[in-house]
Amino acid sequence: MKLSYVALFGAVVLSLSACGSDSGPSKKDAGSDARDTAAPQPDAPADRATPQPDTPIPGSDTAKPQPDAPVVDTGPTPLDVPQPEIDGAQPGIDGAPPTVDGGQVSEAGQPRLDAGVIVLDGGIKVNGAYVELRRENFQTGIDAGATATDLFTIRNSKGLFAKITNLGAKFEQIVVPDRNGVFGDIILGYESIAAVDQGQGSMGAFISRYANRISHGKFVVDGTTYSIKVNEGAPKNNLLHGGAKGSRFRVFDATQISASQVQMTLTHLDAEDADPANGYTGFPGTLAVKVLYTVTEANEIKVEYSATTTKKTVINFTTHSFFNLGNEPTTPILDHVVMVNADKVLEINDRLVPTGVLRDVTGTPMDFRTAKPFRQDYAANYDLLNLVGGGGAGVAAGYDNHYALNKTAPGALELAASVYEPLSGRKMEVWSTEPGMQLFTGTNLTGQVPRDKGKGGVVFQKYSGFCMEPSHFPDSPNQLSFPSTVLIPGETYEGKIIYKFSVVP
């Protein structure tokens, strides 16, 4: 059987034009998962799944795609300009040096940030901030070379390509065009496996076995208390993104299926994170996770993931790329214009753990139902922002909050959010089958080297990137009113997330 939350065989689509009771997630042929009065389902009409803001993001009238259906052709854009067919290794994409039109290349063969337009083989133009990632720099392995690693390129014939390492199944590069048809890298990442290993653990990662927070690293399944050593220290004392044995620190087995598709698998062993001497049981069950990345001819990147377990357990999954849709990675994301399709946001305590209350966003800085730039309210004197900033009034420092997405049905693939970057013209839509989404404005990026030194030597500072992380709610195993994250043997957990890109003229 397959669970109704299609979140374990999730799909992230990049297109160009941080639960409940032990009853387990509801099955695909079962009814919707219920919430009590502390977590009501909003009575929004079906068209709230694709809200039309009073001041819409340019291009937000794009037709709503159906899951696994072709993207609707809304007319010519720079994405529709014919691109040469891409067959085999491509200079500047798969390892050979690019040529530069009016710019410069550094001694290491990398384009400098002050370079002009770079022309890759086949005529694809990329901006001067583009940095070529060389596969050999990701094949040196970790643990003194004892664990093999690699870098995989997936692409289509229209110019879109992405590079993913099997360490953490992490996106290191996603290249999409701006409104002028010049391609650019729109995620933060690293130039080598050594840099990835020393870098931000979550950056670009596929997160398992439990994304976001579990309070004190403890939960109960069928009357048995399980505990995992916390990795988010005092005073928070939470398990974050699965702890020390989470997937972001693990090397996946990877198979390149075709030029447009790569599959990655990882097995979390039963109680592999146990520490009996210190009272930690670890997660129950051997959890088999599969992740499938695909670039389509509709200019989409799909990330489909699935999981099964040998024992009743709890699971939660997401993808964790840091996006910056502008043309310069050093420019903060505060002027990105954002819409979030959510009437409710999760209330949190001073440990950033949900209280169980879903708070109405109306009239608060948390309301993104009408598109607005991050800058408008990111520093507002509001408790949910002050808690993220450090716990005191007036110390807000951006968003790190989880939204309860408006849903017409559990597990439905619907619009979660959209983002527009005015200077580049790039727009991103986030579609998801998940019930919630963490909105994060990169406050953990603090310029620490080597952790925050990325591609092209750029040092990541606060607000260098933002994350939109669709998933189940944080601490769901300890909140009976939240949708359940329990998985039982014999069932498969599946889901889809879509990051879809378009270009606004």
Phi-psi region of 109 (alpha: psi -120 to 50; beta: other; left: phi over 0): left
- Segment 11-22, tens digit of pLDDT: 444 444 443 333
Q: Is the pLDDT of residue 33 over 90?
A: no
Q: Is residue 42 part of a domain?
A: no
Q: What's the total number of domains in the chain?
A: 1
* Marked catalytic residue, from 469, 472, 491, 494: 469
By residue count, the chain amounts to 505
Q: Is residue 414 part of a domain?
A: yes
Q: Are the C-beta atoms of residues 247 and 169 closer than 8 Å to each other?
A: yes
Banded pLDDT at 303 (limits 50, 70, 90): confident
Banded pLDDT at 392 (limits 50, 70, 90): low
Tell me the two tokens of residue 217.
Answer: 């690293």
CA gap 466, 443 in Å, rounded:
9
Looking at residue 41, its pLDDT comes to 37
Looking at residue 97, its pLDDT comes to 42
97-109 average pLDDT score: 38
User: Which residues on neighbouring strands pair with residue 358, listed in sequence order?
Assistant: 346
Q: Are the C-beta atoms of residues 59 and 374 closer than 8 Å to each other?
A: no
320: annotated active-site residue: yes
Tell me the two tokens of residue 480.
Answer: 């009976």
What Cα–Cα distance (Å) separates residue 42 from each residue in 158, 347, 404? 40, 16, 10
The beta strand positions in 269-399, using DSSP E, are 287-295, 301-309, 313-314, 318-320, 337-340, 344-348, 354-360, 372-373
User: Which residues on neighbouring strands pair with residue 286, listed in sequence order?
Assistant: none
Q: Are the C-beta atoms of residues 293 and 164 closer than 8 Å to each other?
A: yes
CA gap 19, 213 in Å, rounded:
11
Q: Is 469 helix (H, G, I), strand (E, B) or coil?
A: strand
CA gap 169, 133 in Å, rounded:
16
Q: Is residue 246 part of a domain?
A: yes
- Segment 143-202, tens digit of pLDDT: 888 889 999 999 988 888 999 999 999 999 999 999 999 999 999 999 999 999 999 999
Q: Is residue 44 part of a domain?
A: no
Q: Is residue 43 part of a domain?
A: no
- Segment 117-128, tens digit of pLDDT: 888 877 889 999
- Segment 197-230, tens digit of pLDDT: 999 999 999 999 999 999 999 999 999 999 999 9
Q: Is residue 141 part of a domain?
A: yes
The burial of 171, by beta-carbon neighbours within 10 Å (0-12 exposed, 13-18 middle, 19 or more buried), is given as buried
The burial of 68, by beta-carbon neighbours within 10 Å (0-12 exposed, 13-18 middle, 19 or more buried), is given as exposed
Range of the domain at 468: 2-37+53-503
- Segment 399-430, tens digit of pLDDT: 999 999 999 999 999 999 999 999 999 999 98
245-266 average pLDDT score: 96
Q: Is residue 45 part of a domain?
A: no
DSSP class of residue 24 equals -
| DSSP assignment string, 166-216 | TBTTEEEEEEEE-TTS-EEE-B---SSHHHHHHS-TTTTEEE-SB-SEEET
107: annotated active-site residue: no
* Marked catalytic residue, from 232, 241, 300, 320: 320
Q: Is the pLDDT of residue 317 over 70?
A: yes
Q: Is residue 48 part of a domain?
A: no
Looking at residue 391, its pLDDT comes to 61
Q: Say what percent of the chain tops pLDDT 90.
A: 66
CB under 8 Å, gap of 24 or more: what pairs does 29-34 form?
A: 29/1, 30/4, 32/4, 32/409, 32/410, 33/4, 33/410, 33/483, 33/484
DSSP class of residue 5 equals E
* Contacts of 359 by beta carbon, 8 Å cutoff, 6+ apart: 344, 345, 346, 347, 366, 384
Banded pLDDT at 43 (limits 50, 70, 90): very low
Banded pLDDT at 32 (limits 50, 70, 90): very low
Residue 244 sits in a domain of what CATH number? 2.70.98.10
Q: How many CB atoms lie within 10 A of CB 221?
A: 20
